[in-house]
Copies of this chain bind each other. A is one copy, B any other.
Amino acid sequence: MNTLSYGLLGLLARRESSGYELMLRIQPFWQAKHSQIYPLLSRMEEKALLSSYWVQQSDKPDKKIYAITEAGMDKLREWMHQPIAPSVNKDELSLRTFSLWLSEIGVSVDIYEERRALYVEKKRYYESILDGIPKQKCEFGNKEFSSYILATKALMMAETELKWCDWVLDLLGQHSMAAAGES
């Protein structure tokens, strides 16, 4: 049982979902493709941590709905007492930034403008998520509490990254102006 499996159990402990839906639901926390999730769900069902049934749909393809079993809930509760691995971040932009001295300023500006737009979008997304969470339920013990603090974190992080992009773009702008003044 890897971390992703426990993540899927956690999602299914809230509500049953299709593999496709689970793939979408887990994206904010753990980026995994459907080709990794489908075989995992099969193996978890073999171990009786999940059960499933097919739902016929007329307009869309049929779907297989997974639900967590009591054995699955036990596994999930067990996991809650295990040590937590430190986060793994793999950001190509950081590696690229490290070699920025090899780039022209115009190319650099484009890079951070692009990232900036991404974080503006992300910020809007998490703001809308937070709007959808009823605040009176945001207390420890409720499922909404988790969603609330996670969405808040994602929003805070997006805001910080956005601020950083703006700051970098400002530094790059200053440099361009100084270069223009010198010529």
Interface residues of A (CB under 8 A from B): 3, 6-7, 9-11, 13, 28-31, 76-77, 79-81, 84-103, 105, 107-108, 111, 114-115, 118, 139-143, 145-147, 149-150, 152-153, 156-157, 159-161, 163-164, 167-168, 171-172, 175
Contacts of A108 in B (CB 8 A): 140
A46 to B7, CA, bound (A): 41
A13-B99, A30-B91, A156-B164 are known; give 10 further A-B pairs, CB within 8 A: A80-B102, A80-B103, A84-B96, A84-B111, A87-B89, A94-B150, A98-B150, A105-B140, A153-B161, A153-B164
A103 to B13, CA, bound (A): 13
